[in-house]
A and B are shown apart, each in its own frame.
Chain A
């Protein structure tokens, strides 16, 4: 049982380049999330999904797009990377958002640097 995995672990981009981060979970969770973690700011929600085929905006969605074509995968795309997107990106998943089964399980993170 791998839990939540993220690909790649590290990436360096030049301004204007594009890339896709992949998140996969094998726990059959309905909910999936993408966060960015910046020093002194905790985790901020970028986008989330409440089920296959659905996506919704979080707190800081600008400059990012997401897709949830399969229940187990949640992709985060940067169409035109900017230095302000230098961050550590975490994916998470959960059974639900409310109630007893809303614990989020996190992936190991992707460290992205945009030059």
Chain B
């Protein structure tokens, strides 16, 4: 069965530090990859997605992610975090393109930014 692993459960950084959150998935075929963000008390919002083409994807608020097929990874990065980036981040995968393809979410990484 497909799965998504986010190995960092809680990351604490100071403002202006660089960020990289890991995401690995298990599926050998075509995938769509997503990063969602959930700010405190709010619903999930899409940060960025990879569908096809350039494996380096740029999203909102200065976030980017790189799809490395050989490593089954889709790590999220931001060069300089802000206090407002405090949130929970979820990696997600859709394996294949059929109507039965369902999105699988990772368990999430809580990011805390010290002002």
Q: Chain A residues in contact with chain B, CB under 8 A?
A: 33, 35, 40-45, 48, 50, 58, 90, 92, 96-100, 102-104, 106-109
Across the two chains, which residue of chain B brings its CB closest to A103? B46
* Stretch of B65-73, B77-85, B89-97 with 4 or more beta carbons under 8 angstroms from chain A: B89-97
What are some 7 contacts across the A-B interface (CB < 8 A)?
A40-B9, A44-B105, A45-B103, A97-B98, A97-B100, A98-B101, A104-B46
Interface size classification for chain B: 20 to 34
Q: Are B51 and A100 in contact (CB under 8 A)?
A: yes
Q: For chains A and B in complex, what number of residue pairs have CB atoms within 8 angstroms?
A: 59
Interface residue ranges of B12-66 to A (CB < 8 Å): 32, 34, 36, 42-46, 49, 51
Q: Are B101 and A97 in contact (CB under 8 A)?
A: yes
B112 within 8 A of A: no
Q: Are A50 and B102 in contact (CB under 8 A)?
A: no
Q: Are A42 and B102 in contact (CB under 8 A)?
A: no
| CA distance in complex: A103, B35 (Å) | 11
Across the two chains, which residue of chain A brings its CB closest to B46? A103
Which residues from chain B contact A90 at a C-beta distance below 8 Å? 43-44
Q: Are A102 and B105 in contact (CB under 8 A)?
A: no
Which residues from chain B contact A107 at a C-beta distance below 8 Å? 43
Across the two chains, which residue of chain A brings its CB closest to B107? A42
Q: A42-B90, A98-B32, A106-B43 are in contact. Are A48 and B107 (CB under 8 A)?
A: no
